Chain A
Amino acid sequence: MISMLMGCAFTLILFAIMRRVNQRWRSPMLNPVLLCIVLISVVLLFGNIDYIDYRNATTPISFFLEIAVVALALPLYQQLHAIRPYLLLISLSSFLGISCATITAFILCQWFSAPEPLMASLMALSVTTPITLIVTDTLSGLPGIAAIMVILIGVLGGVFGLSLLTLVGVTQPQAKGVALGVACHAIGTAAAMEHHPAAGAFASAAMIISAVITASWVPVLFTLLQGIIS
């Protein structure tokens, strides 16, 4: 058994150290969350600690997950005047981007004949992690897998996203921002912010709009896709 104080303190201290490491060597590959998840997993495996114990010990941290989703209303409100003329365009791009992500994952799952819980974990990857966890839970998937996949997709998008967009001829920073915000959520948004302030504003707005669309649309789309298959 590990105490709540120990579980939370260990996680917090490790996160603080990894943020430092990331600030020191600026590389999306050194994503603090990814490093923390890998290191804590290794500690639990080698220390023979049950995951359930760790999860129970860190409930205060997980409590803030849902609070953080609510808090996203603030940046959306702050950027509304800048993005208002493009709200429809962003929403449409986001809707199609999410649908494309879900359908792509679905087809790949059919191809590799993935079991139901695994498939359910890969349906909502084009969205910020707290929403992924909520949607995966609704579809009875495996939240641990979904969380890792979302973070890895974000890291990959943060590293290669801008180059890919330039390669296919997307030049305006605003359009790049929308693409990064929808496809690579928070980590992509961070990359967009470093690239150009307008890209950052559009990315965070697109990310939040995607969160709203994902939570309401992906479960419906998943049911539709399953209906087509059976």
Chain B
Amino acid sequence: MMIALRFIASLAILIGCLWAARLITASFALNLPAPLLGLLLLFGLLQSGLLKSEYLLPSCNPILKYMALFFIPAGVGLINYLTIFSQYAWLLASVIILVPALGLLLTGKLASQGRFHD
């Protein structure tokens, strides 16, 4: 019972941040995705000490752990574009290889400039 209540309370905080962000982006016509502003709002709450991270753990842990599940429905949308997939197979194949390869190279080389101490 207690566990369920804790889960619901922490989920309510997340939903609250998301709704607050929706309200802000809508009323100021911001070009920023609401979930992202919600992330920043929650981060601000944690940083300012207004919110203890323990309150969030009950819902954040499972949500982050199983995050991959949430985009399965969107991914299945590919069945509406099978013709595009076959038509542009070469383009998509080059994107799949080149985008991460160049990204890893550039980012890795740049980040190597840091003086990291373990």
Flag if A145 contacts B105 (CB, 8 Å).
no
**Known contacts A101-B99, A215-B33, A32 near B68 by CB under 8 Å:** yes
* Secondary structure call for the A interface: helix
Which of chain B's residues have a CB closer than 8 A to the CB of A143?
A: 74, 77
* Shortest Cβ distance from residue A208 to the other chain B in the assembled complex, whole angstroms: 8
Complex CA–CA separation, A114 to B20 (angstroms): 38
Flag if A170 contacts B109 (CB, 8 Å).
yes
Flag if A215 contacts B36 (CB, 8 Å).
yes
A contacts, CB < 8 Å to B: 11-12, 15, 32-33, 36-37, 40-41, 44-45, 51, 54-55, 58, 61-62, 64-78, 80, 86, 89-90, 92-94, 96-98, 100-101, 104-105, 108-109, 111-112, 114, 118, 122, 125-126, 129-131, 133-135, 138, 142-145, 147-149, 151-153, 156-157, 161, 164-165, 168-172, 174-176, 178-180, 182-184, 186, 198, 202, 206, 208, 211-212, 215-216, 219
Question: What is the size, in residues, of chain B's interface with A at 8 Å between Cβ atoms?
Answer: 71
Q: Does B64 contact A (CB under 8 A)?
A: yes
Q: A64-B70, A67-B18, A130-B70 are in contact. List 9 more A-B contacts (CB 8 A).
A: A44-B76, A44-B79, A97-B103, A101-B102, A108-B95, A126-B99, A147-B74, A174-B111, A212-B36
Closest to B73 in A: A58
Which of chain B's residues have a CB closer than 8 A to the CB of A208?
A: 39
Closest to A212 in B: B36
* Shortest Cβ distance from residue B20 to the other chain A in the assembled complex, whole angstroms: 10
Flag if A178 contacts B108 (CB, 8 Å).
yes
Flag if A153 contacts B96 (CB, 8 Å).
yes
* Shortest Cβ distance from residue A100 to the other chain B in the assembled complex, whole angstroms: 5
Which of chain B's residues have a CB closer than 8 A to the CB of A15?
A: 66, 68-69, 72
Give which listed residue, A54, A77, A100, A186, contacts B103 with CB less than 8 A: A100
Complex CA–CA separation, A211 to B99 (angstroms): 16
Complex CA–CA separation, A68 to B68 (angstroms): 10
Give B103-118 as 1s and 0s: 1 = Cβ < 8 Å from A's Cβ atoms. Answer: 1111111111110101
